[in-house]
Chain A
């Protein structure tokens, strides 16, 4: 390869934060370079230093950060030697940044057109009128259908996906040669994310900027990147072309991450990486990953391993890379054993559940005054069987969390009923207190799910007290619970702020288990956690279900996870179910068009995975004014005709266990190509084809 001068060249960069407990070594000896027009994916879990690296390139490190060593060269110029004025001319103009939250990146008091135009007026000294015209071009470039119309609107009138497009347009305004994107799709829905990722791929072809794409999500990185760097605890442990890194990782951490990530094929992933991130104040002597590494040998702990050149463009900071390179990806133990006890019975029946929030009172409504209610759940019937994991999937705002809360009686239903059946007799349980005890819920946010003022022992002791368990027995049960969620007994005295995200979620699970529930609603239980932690929590939940024999309602937006864990899946859109079936049935035709779109949107941790192009336009309509007929008709790519707008589709049985609510005849749906091409039996990731061999 002829060496092209890189756009960005970072050499030996080290950054630490001054804290009360001494310096926090956030980045250590990071070297990388990005070629013109290349997309460099920077992946790492929380605490890896990826965002700090982004800020360091922008020379916008926060106050307590100290850049102690290294060089950052941008188009051959030494960025560290620039003064504030020179930097201002570079930032926004030659290096632009796209942040995670478009809502806070846009000024709510200015129209979109003004904001994009302002960038041009400041940096290019464009005349206001010319700036407006150019702003419209830019909005068009980022795939906004009606640029002139959107330019007149304010940010809050746009959906999250549109806002992010505007932010990208602003970043591209001055034709930067380097674009840093820090988790640009993290707050967005899968379907919106898929479209933004497509936009990034499209921009790569049309704009001459190099992109540094920062994300915690390996699957996203796999889709957008030409080359990938993996950061771990502040060190860049591996860099390689995307196609190679995801097939033949040479660093054990990369291998572990790929093993932890659930893939949509249902074959790989969910193998946790043992241990946790080292404290950045007291780092291990040798290789930073050694304490968690399954390939570790004494030499690894002696000194920091040098960067090994695996091939011309593949580097790994590991002594054991030849072994790692040939190690197969840990096979995925099927998370949810598909076998289940034969004699199953119903556990929970939800009948035509309706839950409306707010809205005007009954009299005002009759006079059509005041706002209509939010139809969060609008006539959902479902059944959960004993020992079953039923997954509830859908975009945010589809009402799945509300449904979960109505089921565990946190919210009263507006109409309809939830009935719990007794495990032994099969009779309905009517006692409210008993139902509450039997149905527990685990929430999404580890930070909010535990009372910050209470020690773990107190958090877990309270439900036991409620069950009337006293004295020594309570202590015993408490230790038992901690053991169940794989926490040491010493955690009793910890406060939530002394726990990691995964540990907090374990305590929250233990708290739900303390009531000995027969049914647990898991509301996005792992979506706030890092991949490696996620895998261990999912494992834990699955193991617990096997030993306790509880049923789960797993609310999730992550179809890959659902594929691994659930027995049956219910797909929800705007307050209604559109499809219900077993996992096998949901993931292949016939499918509801919405299910197909969801499946197509899931990013795969394999740059070469085949992808069907089913894309949803627009955002979910407001549940205050749901569309008539089939609620999906406004976004449906295969709408039949007027019937979809006028008649609500009934559920059609595709099999005993599979129902679809769509006007398209079943045999037409059956003939559609599967979104998910079946993975080659033993191939896929990690198991390298023999001919590729060692290079």
Chain B
């Protein structure tokens, strides 16, 4: 095996640029994301507007940059939410086994039998459309998958001798799960997380595209694509800018995740 899988190098480069640019967006974006230049609508790229403008004359570069922040927030936030619930649930199911495992995993199976986007749609419909609700919905949709991965890895470790040794000296279940088992499941969780962040971003963009996620005038790639759809024949730029940004980010995340998997040997 080579020292650094090329996938990891390319993926982490894309990601690093994406994260850095998103975090620094307010300072490097030439205009405010919502600033309208009413006379410069749907312009082509020019020195003043490097990626052109949208139908309200807003600078596409600035909006794409700021949209990265939203994508990052939604993607990472939703997965973190999924981890916060899925990891303890998966640990408990794998560690205790038996009836507890059966009960938990049947619920997880039931949730997994819905396509996750459909599940998110269901939740949004119940809660109403907003950024926070989109985050919660995608987060919940991520729980069963994460719980499954964690459970599988925990199952393989529950009879490991160091786990038995911890139990033999009278450690509590919580310590054994989080202190002994979790660190060893972490590589798998990290790999899973990177891949899931990509999917969560896509899901968030889809919700926004459907008008169920981020609401205008916030800059968001899904929302930008939704709005640009009607003007695509007048100017493709409002569609291309967020689309390319979204695709690049997802590719970066997937490459990074695959590379990590090769390196850490995690995943399922």
Interface residues of A (CB under 8 A from B): 20, 405, 408-410, 432-433, 436-437, 439-441, 443-445, 448-454, 459, 462-463, 466, 508, 511-512, 515
Q: Which of A432, A433, A444, A450 contacts B162 (CB 8 A)?
A: A450
Say yes or no: is B184 at the interface (Cβ < 8 Å to chain A).
yes
Q: Which of B3, B162, B184 contacts A449 (CB 8 A)?
A: B162
Are B165 and A508 in contact, with the CB atoms below 8 A? yes
Q: Which of A20, A441, A452 contacts B164 (CB 8 A)?
A: A441
Are B169 and A436 in contact, with the CB atoms below 8 A? yes
Say yes or no: is B217 at the interface (Cβ < 8 Å to chain A).
no
Are A448 and B170 in contact, with the CB atoms below 8 A? no
Chain A residues, CB < 8 A from B3:
20
- Given the known A-B contacts A20-B3, A454-B183, are A449 and B161 also in contact in the complex, defined by CB atoms under 8 Å? yes
Chain B residues, CB < 8 A from A512:
165
| Chain B 142-175: CB-based contact to A (< 8 A → 1; otherwise 0) | 0000000000000000001110111111110000
Chain A residues, CB < 8 A from B162:
448-451, 459
| Chain B 183-212: CB-based contact to A (< 8 A → 1; otherwise 0) | 110100000000000000000000000000
How long is the Cα–Cα vector from A466 to B162 in the complex, in angstroms? 16
Are B165 and A436 in contact, with the CB atoms below 8 A? no
Q: Which of B167, B168, B169, B184 contacts A451 (CB 8 A)?
A: B184
Are A437 and B184 in contact, with the CB atoms below 8 A? no
A-B contact pairs, 28 of them (CB 8 A): A409-B168, A410-B167, A410-B168, A433-B170, A436-B169, A436-B170, A437-B169, A439-B168, A440-B168, A441-B164, A441-B165, A443-B165, A444-B161, A445-B161, A448-B160, A448-B162, A449-B161, A451-B162, A451-B180, A451-B183, A451-B184, A453-B183, A453-B184, A453-B186, A459-B162, A462-B166, A462-B171, A508-B165
How long is the Cα–Cα vector from A405 to B183 in the complex, in angstroms? 25
How long is the Cα–Cα vector from A645 to B129 in the complex, in angstroms? 76
A436-B170, A443-B161, A453-B183 are known contacts; what are 16 more A-B pairs with Cβ within 8 Å? A405-B164, A409-B168, A433-B170, A437-B169, A437-B170, A441-B164, A441-B165, A444-B161, A451-B162, A452-B184, A453-B186, A454-B183, A462-B166, A508-B161, A512-B165, A515-B169
How long is the Cα–Cα vector from A437 to B169 in the complex, in angstroms? 6
Are A448 and B161 in contact, with the CB atoms below 8 A? yes
Give the distance to chain B from A24, nearest Cβ to Cβ, in Å: 16
Place the interface of chain B in its size category. Answer: 10 to 19
Chain A residues, CB < 8 A from B171:
462, 466
Chain B residues, CB < 8 A from A463:
169
Chain B residues, CB < 8 A from A437:
169-170
How long is the Cα–Cα vector from A436 to B179 in the complex, in angstroms? 19
Are B168 and A441 in contact, with the CB atoms below 8 A? yes
Give the distance to chain B from A225, nearest Cβ to Cβ, in Å: 35
How long is the Cα–Cα vector from A453 to B178 in the complex, in angstroms? 13
CB closest chain-A residue, reference B171: A466
How long is the Cα–Cα vector from A453 to B184 in the complex, in angstroms? 6
How long is the Cα–Cα vector from A448 to B161 in the complex, in angstroms? 5
Chain A residues, CB < 8 A from B184:
451-453
- Listed from nearest, the 9 A-B pairs whose CB atoms lie closest are A436-B170, A443-B161, A453-B183, A449-B161, A451-B162, A448-B161, A441-B168, A408-B168, A448-B160
Are A466 and B168 in contact, with the CB atoms below 8 A? no
CB closest chain-B residue, reference A451: B162
How long is the Cα–Cα vector from A511 to B180 in the complex, in angstroms? 14
| Chain B 93-112: CB-based contact to A (< 8 A → 1; otherwise 0) | 00000000000000000000
CB closest chain-B residue, reference A512: B165
Chain A residues, CB < 8 A from B186:
453
CB closest chain-B residue, reference A441: B168
Chain B residues, CB < 8 A from A511:
165
Chain B residues, CB < 8 A from A454:
183
Chain B residues, CB < 8 A from A432:
170
Which of B161, B169, B184 has the largest count of A CB atoms less than 10 A from its CB? B169
How long is the Cα–Cα vector from A449 to B161 in the complex, in angstroms? 4
Chain B residues, CB < 8 A from A448:
160-162
Give the distance to chain A from B265, nearest Cβ to Cβ, in Å: 12
Chain A residues, CB < 8 A from B160:
448
CB closest chain-A residue, reference B3: A20
Give the distance to chain B from A454, nearest Cβ to Cβ, in Å: 7
